[in-house]
Amino acid sequence: MRVKSPPALFFLSLALSIASSSGQWSPVAPGLDYREFLQPGPVHVYVVRADRSTNAWTIDTMKGQGTMKGGHETVPNMAARYDDSITFDGHRYAVKVAINGDYYTGAGVPLQGQIMAGWLAKRFEDNGGISGFVWPGDRHPFFGGNVQNGPALQSVAFADRAKMQINQFNTPREPDALALYTWQFAPDTGTKADGVEVLVRMNGPLGVSSPAKGEIVKVRPNTGASPLPFNHVVLSAHGKAAAELLRHARPGQAVTFQLDLKDQGSPHIGLGPHDWSGAYASLGAPKNILVKGTVTREWEAKARKYAEQGKKHGSVVQDPRTAIALNDRYLFFLVIDGRSKESIGMTFTETGFFCRDVLKATDAALQDGGGSSTLWINGKVKNIPSGKGKDEKYGLLRAVCNGYFIAELLPPKKSTGFQAGQKVRAKGELRLGPGTTFGSAGKVNETDTGTVLPEPLNGIFAKGDYWWLCRFGDAEGWAAAGQLAHIQ
């Protein structure tokens, strides 16, 4: 196959700039608008435009089945999972828009890193070339370059001034290593009873490139997998690292985590370095297609080599695409339908020109495409996914690994129906956090007597109910108001 010549790309750019569109921008929520475009081909493009000059919305990432350990879920189901869920301080998401995210393994583990609500949930690949879209707290997003964030840059410091290097992060613990697990990993650490685990209550999200402090709650030698409750982390050590951890970790003492991430930029495509401190949400991105107003074409040399071998490189195939684009004012989530006569899709280059010439974006990057491409708005999938059902019609949703969502951030809502120290009865399942988003912390019977524990978020509203942290015997977890009863 012959790659398109520059003159052909010029005419493509011109066609995009004068292409017809169906409808105008229509409101989705404050600061959010939606529009559908019909491009020559034909190609259908579905776009959400988010106005960054307002504070009415924010962006976060979501994970299939709610676990970094590995899981698949459709975009609508992930959006429902995180809708009405809470952040570290009790603010609540009202999810309005969602798209699919990064490439992933067959087990449902993202190939790149992930940041969720200010928490690093998976390390980004060291020296991977690019690292993806980053949404920071100051609402000035950027696309990350080549990063380094391995064990040499990440550590924990104890009250006695000792420091240990973190060897694994939300991955299985290895011999003689120190692993760190956050509550986004899974309901528990999944470790064997041959090491030491230290439960730490965090004072704030465990983010990148800024110190994060916490307090040691428990030290558990040789007791196996530890639960991973909301707003907590677990240090898990084996062998030599376990002996060292026991020397320094004491209940009630402070610890400080430093998870540095160094962005060196990607000079080959004109992408400069960025400061990731304050990063609130991020996923890996397979390719940057637009940098500072220039459509990048780094993949074309590889496409030529493929063509010489009689093969087609994926970059020059017109396929369904998912992308994120931005300019000085707006952020765009877009999905392009493909693989049908109604919409043939776009190549990498064509998507870059669409973002630049139609959306007037300056920078853009692709997410996973093909059958994964999905745009969900207020309970409805807007595009027609390329998967086929048994009746051979398009529109079958694919279960993917992760994604982004745009949500209104609602203020905390609380109840005073129960107080710390109060005796209560409950029935059913306790949760590892306030809401049905979290895994099980054990089951209790209606005859069991428990106690409401001191907790700043007690009475917080999430997932349609108010929640309190309680202890019933050896079980400690969150119970909803509908489960609890006062003991007179």
The rounded percent of the chain whose pLDDT value lies above 90 is 86
Q: Are 124 and 279 in contact (CB under 8 A)?
A: no
Rounded mean pLDDT, 122-129? 93
pLDDT digits (tens, 9 = 90+) for 57-89: 999 999 999 999 999 999 999 999 999 999 999
Q: Are 56 and 367 in contact (CB under 8 A)?
A: no
pTM value > 0.85: yes
Which domains does the chain possess?
6-142+266-409 (no CATH), 151-259 (no CATH), 423-486 (2.30.30)
pLDDT band at 21 (very low <50, low <70, confident <90, very high): low
Average pLDDT, the chain: 93
Order of strands, sheet of 154-157, starting from the edge strand that comes earlier in the sequence = 163-165, 154-157, 254-259, 212-221, 195-202, 232-238, 178-182, 168-169
Statement: residue 22 has pLDDT above 70: no
Statement: residue 187 has pLDDT above 50: yes
- Beta-strand (E) ranges in 232-354? 232-238, 254-259, 262-263, 279-283, 287-291, 294-295, 321-326, 330-336
Q: Which two tokens stand for residue 321?
A: 């695409």
Q: Are 102 and 283 in contact (CB under 8 A)?
A: yes
Query: Alpha helix (H) ranges present in 159-266?
Result: 239-248
Q: How many CB atoms lie within 10 A of CB 471?
A: 13
Rounded alpha-carbon distances, angstroms, from residue 486 to 26, 257, 459: 49, 40, 14
Decide the pairing of beta strands 178-182 and 168-169.
Answer: parallel
Q: Which two tokens stand for residue 399?
A: 């279960």
pLDDT band at 308 (very low <50, low <70, confident <90, very high): confident
Q: Which tops the pLDDT comparison, 248 or 128? A: 248
* Closest by CA position to 107, among listed 66, 74, 152, 69: 69
Statement: residue 9 has pLDDT above 60: no
* Closest by CA position to 448, among listed 422, 469, 425, 423: 425
Alpha carbon distance 95, 361 (integer Å): 24
pLDDT digits (tens, 9 = 90+) for 439-471: 999 999 988 999 999 999 999 999 999 999 999
Q: How many CB atoms lie within 10 A of CB 98?
A: 28
Q: According to the model, what pLDDT value does residue 12 have? A: 46
Q: According to the model, what pLDDT value does residue 394 have? A: 77
pLDDT digits (tens, 9 = 90+) for 336-391: 999 999 999 999 999 999 999 999 999 999 999 999 999 999 999 999 999 877 77
Rounded mean pLDDT, 92-115? 97
Rounded mean pLDDT, 319-336? 98
Statement: residue 2 has pLDDT above 90: no
Q: Are 134 and 284 in contact (CB under 8 A)?
A: no
Residues 6 or more apart in contact with residue 305 via CB below 8 angstroms? none
Q: According to the model, what pLDDT value does residue 171 have? A: 96
Reduced to 3 states (helix: H, G, I; strand: E, B; else coil), residue 303 is helix
Statement: residue 300 has pLDDT above 50: yes
Q: Which two tokens stand for residue 179?
A: 């692993």
pLDDT band at 96 (very low <50, low <70, confident <90, very high): very high
